[in-house]
Amino acid sequence: MANDTIKHFIFVRFFSFHDAKYPHDIFDVDFLLKQLPLARNVLNSLENQTNKNFELIFVLHPRFFDDLEYSFIFSTLEEYTTLPIKFMRNDGGSYLFSPNSNPEVAKFLEDATKNYDYVITTRIDYDDFIYKDAVADTQSKIKECDSVLGYGYCLGYEYSLGDLYYRQSLWVGNGHLGIAQSLILKSSFAKQNPVFRLSVENFDHHILKTELKRFLEHNGVEFSENMFQQNTTTLAYIYFRHENAHAIRTNNRDITQMYQDRKKLTVKDITKKQLAEEFGFHLPLKSIKDKEFVFDYDFTSIQAEEFGSRQDLTAIKWVE
């Protein structure tokens, strides 16, 4: 087991498909220029990983490859990070880009299963964060994978409008949030038949277990419970919810109303330093302040008399 080799692909979607329900024109250059800086989120998070044994692939709409007008997307993403980036066309037209619909994914998986013992595909959107041990943790799961294993995280944080909240997505034991959700393949299993060269993008994130079970049984393989795991103990992600997010705009949700009754986290829950160290997170926060100072002062001193103090203030908490 110690000598097992791993090929790990991380797919990051950046406007990889056109959705008629989405109210913004994803081909508008000004719109894209405003969205591009949000890709620093995932790039900072991946640069922060304790294990960098992965191949980073940005998946984009084919039109961005075919029109020189969009060349700034590629150069800007490369400028944002020291990580090597590959770019892939989403020729399938859907938000999913499985080997069945995308020949590049099929080729990646075919080559990887020939040369590595395990192949891992992971997905995450361009504006989200994952904790620093996500790659290491996911790769450690090969020891629990006899053929195929769907793995992902259900507990983390949610960031919106400058505040941070707790987030839990159990999907009734059936899926994970799509932030660093992974599919682990044992190559010896995948080699049995090309149909088993699966990617995490074969399945919807919230019903991965159901769809994986249906797929395997349809192809003559019995599904077992050890083919699916939910990590429900690690605060593993920061889900960035902004006004232009696809799920919010296509569902006509009022982002301000969504959070009006939610409990905002404070420095008592987590600090900015912890967020930076764990997630590579550096966005503005309202309820979590930069520093908290606590100091005691003897107000029986002459300084208290000089300031005309008439109150018993033996301790002051000063929050910036």
C-alpha radius of gyration, the chain, whole number: 23
β-pair partners for 230? 152
- The one-letter amino acid at 146: D
Each residue of 157-205: pLDDT tens digit? Answer: 999 999 999 999 999 999 999 999 999 999 999 998 889 999 999 999 9
- Give 23 or 279, the one with higher predicted confidence: 279
**How would residue 67 be classed by pLDDT, with cut points 50, 70 and 90?**
very high
Residues in the chain, overall count: 320
The pair of structure tokens assigned to 129 is 């964060």
Average pLDDT of span 277-303:
69
What's the confidence (pLDDT) of residue 123? Answer: 96
DSSP letter string over 56-118? EEEEE-HHHHH-GGGHHHHHHHHHT-SS-EEEEE-TT-SS---TTT-HHHHHHHHHHHHH-SE
What's the confidence (pLDDT) of residue 296? Answer: 40
What's the confidence (pLDDT) of residue 297? Answer: 39
φ and ψ at residue 33, rounded to 5 degrees = -60, -35
- The one-letter amino acid at 22: Y
Each residue of 110-129: pLDDT tens digit? Answer: 999 999 999 999 999 999 99
Strand-pair category, 228-231 with 237-240:
unpaired
What share of the chain in percent tops pLDDT 70?
82
What's the confidence (pLDDT) of residue 250? Answer: 58
What share of the chain in percent tops pLDDT 90?
70
What's the confidence (pLDDT) of residue 247? Answer: 59
**How would residue 310 be classed by pLDDT, with cut points 50, 70 and 90?**
very low
Average pLDDT of span 47-67:
96
The pair of structure tokens assigned to 98 is 């499985």
**How would residue 289 be classed by pLDDT, with cut points 50, 70 and 90?**
confident
**How would residue 104 be classed by pLDDT, with cut points 50, 70 and 90?**
confident
| Strands of the sheet with 129-130, listed across from one edge | 129-130, 237-240, 155-160, 163-168
Mean pLDDT of the chain: 86
CA distance 42 to 46: 6
What's the confidence (pLDDT) of residue 253? Answer: 67
The pair of structure tokens assigned to 208 is 């991965």
What's the confidence (pLDDT) of residue 263? Answer: 94
CA distance 268 to 80: 32
What CA–CA distances, in Å, run from 71 to 56, 87, 185, 230? Answer: 19, 12, 34, 39
Beta-carbon neighbour count of residue 91 at 10 Å? 14
What's the confidence (pLDDT) of residue 23? Answer: 66
Residue 12 has pLDDT above 60, yes or no: yes
- Give 166 or 16, the one with higher predicted confidence: 166
Each residue of 210-245: pLDDT tens digit? Answer: 999 999 999 999 999 999 999 999 999 999 986 666
